[in-house]
Amino acid sequence: MFKTVFKQYKVKSTSPDLSDVVSFDEIDDKPKEDSIAQRLSFNNEITDLPTFPGLKTPRAWQTFVLKDHPGLLVIRNPFTDHGQRYWIARCLRDYPRAPNIVNLNARLFDESVRSDWWKELQECKDPTERQRIKAAMRWTTLGYHHDWDTKVYNELSKSPFPQDLSRLCQVFASYLGYHDFKSEAAIVNYYPLGSSLSGHTDHSEPNHLAPLFSFSFGQTAIFLIGGRTLDEKPTAIYLKSGDVLVMSGESRLCYHAVPRIIQTDESLASLPNETALENSNLVDNDLFEQVRDSNYWNPFSSYIADSRININVRQVLHPGDLKLN
Ligand code: OGA
Ligand code: MN
């Protein structure tokens, strides 16, 4: 069932029927008995959440659940356009740098590209080579590095987890009542139009009770969420730029996939004069300022015009553990 639906959306030749894809934009506040998705209301705790640069006030966030997929939540774009610009720039300029690990193959790319992909891409003048470098970037790993072959984390393969991303996740974790969440491993996925991610479960983490946070930026994904086996029919939802998907509870170990990226126009151009950051140590303040400038933002903007970026953050260890055993 899962694979059949995956293929329906992945088809290259024809345009797939999108009428069953759940769009959270079309769900209103009034709960309907029979609807597949419903909006959750939070009223009390959220007033104590710390403010975070680039996030709207939690009172304005819209959180959705899917009736048939308990534990799966979507917080519909809680970011300001400015905030989205910041995270996109982090994923392109900074996160692919050494000591983080990228997919770029040593036989195909020089050490300079493999250790600072974005810088080399910007400096490359040859259009064919630029396109080759751009399209080759598919993932980078942070913190405990995901091992794509063994699917086992290793204490010896680990780099520092970015503090800004860890603090961002803490805000969402606290919002949902997970006050002890620790960001310990992340995969940043880069999806050029036409790429996909096939059905899988994320079970490498010894801790399956902690939620998984997944951030979408740039072009829209069709995301499939299924059950614990491939026999169950998945539900298709849109994940748009800025959306935060949370896989918690029963959905944490469910099959999921991204069969297709859909190009949509979005400009991230709404940048009202925010009050200057009073040297908050939550984000890279220089970058936060730089991305407001249209010249600085331009190369990032052209990257996401035909790509999607996903940041997929997990806690690895059990609470209180300091390392893998
Ligand atoms: C993953 C993953 C989903 C996405 O990285 O494990 O499932 O939305 N990503 O890109
Ligand atoms: Mn996954």
SS (H, E, C) 152-190: CCCCCCECCCCHHHHHHHHHHHHHCCCCCCCCCEEEEEE
* Residue-level pLDDT at 279: 65
CA–centroid distance, 200 to ligand 2, in Å, is 6
Of 217, 157, 212, which is closest to residue 189 (Cα–Cα)?
A: 217
Regarding the beta carbon of 214 and ligand 1, being less than 6 Å apart is answered yes
Q: Which residues lie below 8 Å from residue 178, measured CB to CB, with a gap of 6+?
A: 210, 211, 248
Whether the CB-CB separation of 196 and 260 falls below 8 Å is answered with: yes
Residue pair 303/96 in contact by the 8 Å Cβ criterion? no
Residue pLDDT, tens place only, 44-95: 556 677 789 999 999 999 999 999 999 999 999 999 999 999 999 999 999 9
Q: Which pTM was predicted?
A: 0.96
Say which amino acid occupies 268: L
**Average pLDDT score over the chain:** 94
| CA distance readout (Å), 169 to 108, 282, 305, 312, 321 | 35, 12, 26, 10, 19
Strands 235-239 and 139-143: unpaired
Percent of the chain with pLDDT over 70: 95
* Sequence spans of domains, the chain: 2-11+20-103+138-314
The Å distance, Cα 264 to ligand 2 centre, comes to 23
What is the three-class DSSP state of 316?
A: coil
CA dist 60 and 56 (Å) reads 7
In this prediction, residue 270 carries a pLDDT of: 84
* Ligand 1 atom index nearest CA of 214: 8
Dihedral-angle region of residue 62 (phi above 0 means left; psi in -120 to 50 means alpha; beta otherwise): beta
Over the stretch 166-220, which tens digit does the pLDDT of each residue have?
999 999 999 999 999 999 999 999 999 999 999 999 999 999 999 999 999 999 9
- 219 CB under 6 A from ligand 1? no
- Give Cα 130 distance to the centre of its chain: 25
Q: Which ligand sits closest to the CA of 311?
A: 1
- Ligand 1 contacts CB of residue 212 (under 6 A): no
Q: How far is the CA of 29 from the centre of ligand 1 (A)?
A: 28
Mutational test site, ligand 1, from 74, 75, 187, 252, max ligand atoms within 8 Å of CB: 187
Task: Give pLDDT tens digits for 296-310.
Answer: 999 999 999 999 999
Per-residue pLDDT at 12? 83
The pLDDT confidence band at residue 33, using thresholds 50, 70 and 90, is: low
Question: What is residue 275's predicted lDDT score, i.e. its pLDDT?
Answer: 63
Q: Give the residue-averaged pLDDT of 111-134.
A: 97
Q: Is the CB of 310 under 6 A from ligand 1?
A: yes
The CATH topology of domain 2-11+20-103+138-314 is Jelly Rolls (2.60.120)
| pLDDT tens per residue, range 4-24 | 999 999 998 778 999 999 999
Instruction: Give the whole-angstrom CA distance, residue 176 versus residue 155.
Output: 29
Q: How far apart are CA 34 and CA 81, in angstroms?
A: 34
Higher pLDDT, 318 or 275: 318
